[in-house]
Amino acid sequence: MHLSPQVDQDIPVLSETCVDHDHASFEASLSNMQAQEVINHNINAIQTPSVHARDAGVARTHSLVISEGVIQSHSGDVDTGYLQVYAAENEHSAGLQGQIGQSTSSDALFDPRKEELRQSFVETYFEYCYTWCPVLDADMLTYEMRTSPMLANAVSLAASNIRPPLVGHEGSATYYERARTLFYNDEETDGLTALKALSLFYWWAPRAPSIAHRHSSWWWTSVIIRHAQQMNIHREPTDSSMTELTMSLRRRIWWTAFARERLTALCQSKPCIIDEDDCTIGEVRLSDFPADATSQRKGLIFMHWVRLCAIMGRIAKRLLQSDKDDALGDLRQELMEWAMSLPAEIRLQIGSARTVMFDRDVHQLHLPYLTTIIILHLKRSPHDLPQALPPAILAASCVSRLLRDILTRGNARFLMAITCWYTGVAMIPLLQATRIKQFKEDALDGIGILVNTIEQLQKMWGSADVIRQGFDRLLKTMSHETAMDLGRREDMLKLSEAYHVTADNFDWSALFPFVTKSTNAIAECLLKDKAQGAVTRGFASPTDMLFYDQLLNQYNGFIDPLTDYDFEFTNFAL
């Protein structure tokens, strides 16, 4: 068990000043501190190690103690550029810069009156963020927030955005700007602490990624990855003296960034920085989390979330490299196996019409899963919307069910920005499902839930404004029965010819082990038809040439643009 240092409980939430460390001021700092005296002092004195100091972390040639958190370059297990020839000099430089950073930081600027705010921010983090970003340790956080203004501000920005205090506080924008400035000014010299703080920037995205800018989750995730790679966190360390706590922290930081990058890759059609073949770091494990039941459960969800995101990343890469659906069969199988492998305690419980065992984290775990099913079962067409196959329609109805459960309980601020994407993707199949008589009522209800959700997300995320505007356009077009041509029969038949005949007999219902006929009306209809043989195994696979013929025969109204429809969008709570 790792005990945190005993420190004063009056902890600063913020630093009141930000020191500019450009090249000139860095040289001035060296002069002012009499760098040579610092070196001599470290050679002749025994240093008190920092929180992350190694037991045997002293350089062979120079006696500067190197904190495990200091960003040391070229210290990995592979040396393709032969820079280890200069390892001693590199360690000396890292130690010197670390000493300067430590001497210029101060924990004297704090306001004891902000102690209650600090405590509430910590509670919010562990309640809402920890499952998806388990980079902070409760027994160390008090000390770390006192010694790192950047981390204190980062915790404050995330927590105040999720659960704004009803008393005076400076606000997420102020906390973000201070933490960001401290980072860019190199005020935080402990690399691990900086990565922790940057990981919390995920909960601040007031601007949509419509243009390239340095405030998006994509940008900050990339920054985390590059810094982590520079610190060689993606490789299993060869230094046996590294503490188990530090090893655990490295795993949690790395896999958090990995999962986020994979999510964004599929969402925004971006290539990934991380190549899994380059990584030798071990998977996160339950022993990386505290032993209490709550932390263990959150850790279990995090582990399976990372595995899901890994599959999503492989799907994104395959889609970027090939437009052939038959190239996705193995990944569809991986997705199904992921759902079947979930431990009982974190399986989704929506088999009945009403959710009795609601679990906020389990619901959030399944939102990206269901969104990926939709992505795999949307077929591009020359028309305004892609064609949605039955698995996509069922998955979208489940997304609306999960969001309904969340909205019913009166709080949606904990939903991450990526939820805007989940909501936008789910709208596509539900819009088309309104054209099927037996689906229409449930689809309209689901669309209303998506609209209500995006309204809540608009309070926090810039991307929600973009999605909401898209909703308004799509709903207006559909309600006027105009140019939204969802595909003619001949177009669908041509599209079906692009696929190769397959004998995989993939059973799409296996993607939904948590769904029953009681889940909703769409599930009842699709599963009943399947049980009665109206939907065959061949119907399920998008790689089967018979798929579209059977789809046309059973749901011909769904894709017939010449049919008149009665859209009643006036019932939406817009």
Q: Evaluate if residue 211 carries a pLDDT over 60.
A: yes
Which three-class secondary structure string do you get for 370-436? HHHHHHHCEECCCCCCCEECHHHHHHHHHHHHHHHHHHHCCCCCCCCCCHHHHHHHHHHHHHHHCCC
C-alpha to C-alpha distance for 452 and 69, rounded to whole angstroms: 44
Residues 6+ apart with CB under 8 A from 218: 209, 264, 268, 270
Strand partners for 70: 190
Whether residue 155 contacts residue 145, with contact meaning beta carbons closer than 8 Å, is answered with: yes
More confident residue, 240 or 4: 240
Please state, for a pLDDT cut of 70, what percent of the chain lies above it: 67
**Mean pLDDT, to the nearest integer, of 204-218?**
91
Residues 6+ apart with CB under 8 A from 532: none
> How far does Cα 533 stand from its chain's mean position?
39
Whether residue 348 contacts residue 405, with contact meaning beta carbons closer than 8 Å, is answered with: no
pLDDT tens-digit profile of 147-163?
A: 999 999 999 999 999 99
556: phi then psi, degrees, rounded to nearest 5:
-65, -30
Range 268-273 contact pairs with CB under 8 angstroms and sequence separation of 24 or more: 268/209, 268/218, 269/316, 269/319, 269/320, 270/218, 270/316, 271/317, 271/320, 272/313, 272/316, 272/317, 273/222, 273/225, 273/226
Residue showing tokens 């759902």: 339
> How far does Cα 212 stand from its chain's mean position?
19
Whether residue 67 contacts residue 60, with contact meaning beta carbons closer than 8 Å, is answered with: no
More confident residue, 469 or 37: 469
More confident residue, 291 or 82: 291
DSSP state of 129: I
Strand partners for 378: 388
If 0-12 CB within 10 Å is exposed, 13-18 middle and 19+ buried, where does residue 380 land?
Answer: exposed
Q: Evaluate if residue 31 carries a pLDDT over 80.
A: no
| CA 17 to each of CA 109, 146, 357: distance values in angstroms, whole numbers, following the listed order | 9, 15, 47
How are beta strands 65-67 and 53-58 bridged, if at all? antiparallel
Q: Evaluate if residue 11 carries a pLDDT over 70.
A: no
Confidence at residue 533, expressed as pLDDT on a 0 to 100 scale: 52
The H or E element that residue 496 is part of is: helix 489-496
H helices of 269-389, in order, are 293-321, 329-341, 360-376
Whether residue 90 contacts residue 64, with contact meaning beta carbons closer than 8 Å, is answered with: no
pLDDT tens-digit profile of 280-321?
A: 999 999 999 999 999 999 999 999 999 999 999 999 999 998
> Could you tell me the pLDDT band of residue 2, with boundaries at 50, 70 and 90?
very low
Please state, for a pLDDT cut of 90, what percent of the chain lies above it: 59
Six token digits for residue 285:
């494990």
Whether residue 296 contacts residue 286, with contact meaning beta carbons closer than 8 Å, is answered with: yes
Q: Evaluate if residue 207 carries a pLDDT over 80.
A: yes
Confidence at residue 387, expressed as pLDDT on a 0 to 100 scale: 87
Residues 6+ apart with CB under 8 A from 215: 204, 205, 206, 207
pLDDT tens-digit profile of 103-158?
A: 444 443 445 457 889 999 999 999 999 999 999 999 999 899 999 999 999 999 99
How are beta strands 378-379 and 65-67 bridged, if at all? unpaired
If 0-12 CB within 10 Å is exposed, 13-18 middle and 19+ buried, where does residue 256 land?
Answer: buried
pLDDT tens-digit profile of 329-388?
A: 899 999 999 999 999 999 999 999 999 999 999 999 999 999 999 999 998 776 667 889
| CA 104 to each of CA 26, 141, 269, 378, 503: distance values in angstroms, whole numbers, following the listed order | 11, 21, 42, 55, 67
Residue showing tokens 């899994």: 276
299: phi then psi, degrees, rounded to nearest 5:
-65, -40
On the CB side of 216, CA atoms within 13 Å amount to: 16
Q: What's the whole-number average pLDDT of the chain?
A: 78
**Residue 252 one-letter amino acid:** R
**Residue 498 one-letter amino acid:** A
Q: What is this structure's pTM? A: 0.78
Q: Evaluate if residue 42 carries a pLDDT over 90.
A: no
